[in-house]
């Protein structure tokens, strides 16, 4: 996957967002459309059968829109909305046009909706097919009615073509903007992880090696300890790179978080001999780079503490995807410690973990007692779904 290619998930989610906006406008105009469709027929004294048919059409359209809105509300980003609805839309418009008994009806212009929806897919064959269905529907609906003004009909058809062309151009422009935003987000994510991970480790290694060079002759034991620390830092940097590369190779951003975490734990266990088990509950979903980055840092720091200070021989890592948040738990059976004492001493690792979790709106708790092991729990809110974000913005306005 190239960094400048929008992912299928991004494309589908963007299409769903446009679909929700479209439905909001349809519902806002529905009362006016209902009056336009029904009142003239009643005033002209049309037969009851015709009026009943108009009511039936209005009811059918309402049921169709309710079902369509419900499907969109379920938040199914993989549904290709612009391939699903243009044909039913064109059919409903044709039936409505037929019931107006007017070859000059302004309902002609509503054919722009399915045509624009099809054009926004940037699929020429699909857009042409929907356009053909719309033209055939219009011709069928107006056959046998009062003589039509061919100049007016030509103008309406030309307007539809212009609208479809503009919609296609705007869809292409939106896709290009989305691709650029995806590239920027991906670059920022990589830069953040490289800065906080690999770069920090390399800087620490360089400073430690400089110190070791000055102490090599006067303090061999300290030099050996520094060399051991540098070896650990180099391995952590390598783990960071593997974790990052594993996620970059995923078909879609976010899908490789759990596999990458599992691979990291496997490498750590094989290198150190510390048994580490990973349990995953719930349905894994992409969390976004900042949250995944934070969870990885918490896992890494907790395992480093278990290796260096806890003398543990068993560690369990649990990741639970719950309704509103993700819960990460790292539990070891080591010697434990007194959290209050560690906090008073200003332990940088724990302070850093708290800061990392707070940066993504989460909370960190540590349950530890001397001789009873330690449990680190990080609760991070899940990314807000598009529907929830949309409603929140409406409330704020």
Residue 90 and residue 111 in contact, taking contact as beta carbons nearer than 8 Å: yes
Query: What is the per-residue pLDDT for 328?
Result: 95
What's the mean pLDDT in 308-327? 87
Instruction: Note the helical H segments in the chain.
Output: 8-43, 48-73, 81-84, 86-100, 112-119, 124-142, 150-193, 200-215, 220-248, 257-272, 289-305, 339-344, 348-358, 386-396
Query: What is the per-residue pLDDT for 5?
Result: 40
Q: Tell me the per-residue pLDDT of 375-385, one tens digit each, with 9 for 90 and over.
A: 999 999 987 65
Q: Tell me the per-residue pLDDT of 201-252, one tens digit each, with 9 for 90 and over.
A: 788 888 888 888 888 888 888 888 888 888 877 877 777 777 777 666 654 5
The C-alpha R_g of the chain, in whole angstroms, comes to 31
DSSP string computed for 196-247: IIIIHHHHHHHHHHHHHHHHTTT-HHHHHHHHHHHHHHHHHHHHHHHHHHHH
Whole-angstrom distance, CA of residue 94 vs CA of residue 108: 9
Percent of the residues in the chain that have a pLDDT greater than 90, as a whole number: 9
Q: Tell me the per-residue pLDDT of 92-127, one tens digit each, with 9 for 90 and over.
A: 888 888 877 666 676 777 887 888 778 777 777 888
What is the C-alpha end-to-end distance of the chain, expressed in Å?
38
φ, ψ (nearest 5 deg) of residue 121: -75, -10
pLDDT for residue 395 is more than 60: no
For 65-79, 137-151, 304-318, 361-375, which range has the lowest pLDDT when averaged over its residues? 137-151
What's the mean pLDDT in 298-304? 88
Query: What is the per-residue pLDDT for 46?
Result: 65
pLDDT for residue 149 is more than 90: no
Residues 6+ apart with CB under 8 A from 357: 294, 298, 363, 364, 378, 379, 380
DSSP state of 385: P
Q: Name which residue leads in pLDDT, 193 or 217.
A: 217
Local confidence band at 329 (pLDDT 50, 70, 90 cut-offs): very high
Q: Tell me the per-residue pLDDT of 249-297, one tens digit each, with 9 for 90 and over.
A: 654 544 568 888 888 888 888 888 888 999 999 888 878 777 888 898 8
Query: What is the per-residue pLDDT for 40?
Result: 56
Whole-angstrom distance, CA of residue 66 vs CA of residue 207: 65
pLDDT for residue 346 is more than 80: no
Residue 371 and residue 332 in contact, taking contact as beta carbons nearer than 8 Å: no
Local confidence band at 1 (pLDDT 50, 70, 90 cut-offs): very low
Residues 6+ apart with CB under 8 A from 332: 302, 306, 310, 312, 314, 315, 316, 373, 374, 375
Residue written as token pair 């044709």: 94
CATH fold for the domain made of 256-397: Heat Shock Protein 90 (3.30.565)
Query: What is the per-residue pLDDT for 128?
Result: 80
Whole-angstrom distance, CA of residue 363 vs CA of residue 187: 27
Local confidence band at 182 (pLDDT 50, 70, 90 cut-offs): low
Residue 361 and residue 287 in contact, taking contact as beta carbons nearer than 8 Å: no
Query: What is the per-residue pLDDT for 36?
Result: 64
Residue 94 corresponds to which tokens in the numbers above? 């044709």
What's the mean pLDDT in 29-56? 67
Domain boundaries, the chain: 8-180, 256-397
What is the pTM (predicted TM-score) of this model?
0.50
Q: 3-state SS string over 140-172?
A: HHHCCCCCCCHHHHHHHHHHHHHHHHHHHHHHH
Give CA angle at 292 (295, 11), nearest 5°.
165
Q: Name which residue leads in pLDDT, 53 or 357.
A: 357
pLDDT for residue 390 is more than 50: no
Residue 279 and residue 318 in contact, taking contact as beta carbons nearer than 8 Å: yes
Residue 194, helix vs strand vs coil: helix
């Amino acid at each position: 996957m190239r960094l400048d290619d929008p992912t299928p998930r991004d494309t589908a989610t963007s299409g769903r967002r446009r679909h929700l906006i479209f439905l909001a406008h349809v519902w806002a105009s529905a009362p006016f459309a209902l009056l336009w469709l029904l009142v003239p027929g009643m005033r002209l004294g049309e037969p009851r059968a015709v009026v009943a048919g108009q009511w039936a059409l209005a009811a059918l359209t309402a049921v169709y829109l309710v079902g369509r809105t419900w499907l969109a509300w379920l938040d199914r980003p993989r549904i290709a909305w612009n391939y699903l609805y243009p044909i039913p839309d064109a059919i409903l418009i044709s039936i409505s046009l037929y019931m107006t008994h007017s070859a000059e009806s302004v309902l002609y212009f509503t054919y722009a909706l399915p045509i624009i929806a099809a054009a926004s897919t940037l699929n020429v064959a699909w857009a042409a097919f929907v356009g053909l269905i719309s033209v055939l529907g219009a011709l069928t609906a107006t056959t046998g009615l009062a003589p039509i003004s061919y100049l007016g009909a030509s103008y309406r058809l030309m307007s539809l073509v212009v609208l479809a062309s503009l919609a296609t151009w705007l869809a292409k422009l939106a896709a290009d903007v989305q691709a650029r935003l995806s590239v920027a987000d991906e670059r920022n994510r990589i830069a953040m992880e490289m800065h906080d991970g690999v770069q920090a480790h390399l800087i620490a290694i360089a400073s430690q090696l400089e110190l070791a060079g000055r102490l090599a002759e006067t303090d061999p034991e300290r030099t050996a300890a520094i060399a051991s620390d540098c070896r650990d830092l180099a391995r952590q940097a390598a783990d960071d790179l593997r974790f990052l590369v594993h996620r970059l190779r995923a078909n879609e951003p976010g899908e490789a978080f759990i596999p990458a975490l599992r691979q990291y734990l496997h490498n750590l266990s094989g290198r150190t001999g510390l048994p580490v088990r990973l349990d995953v509950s719930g349905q894994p979903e992409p969390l976004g780079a900042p949250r995944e980055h934070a969870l990885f840092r918490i896992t890494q720091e907790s395992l480093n503490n278990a290796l260096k200070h806890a003398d543990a021989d068993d560690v369990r890592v649990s990741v639970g995807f719950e309704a509103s948040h993700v819960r990460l738990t790292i539990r070891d059976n080591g010697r434990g410690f007194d959290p209050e004492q560690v906090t008073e001493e200003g332990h940088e690792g724990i302070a850093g973990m708290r800061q990392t979790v707070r940066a993504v709106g989460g909370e960190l708790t540590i349950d530890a007692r001397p001789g009873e092991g330690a449990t680190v729990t990080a609760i991070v809110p899940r990314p807000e779904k598009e529907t929830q974000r949309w409603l929140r913005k409406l409330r704020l306005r």
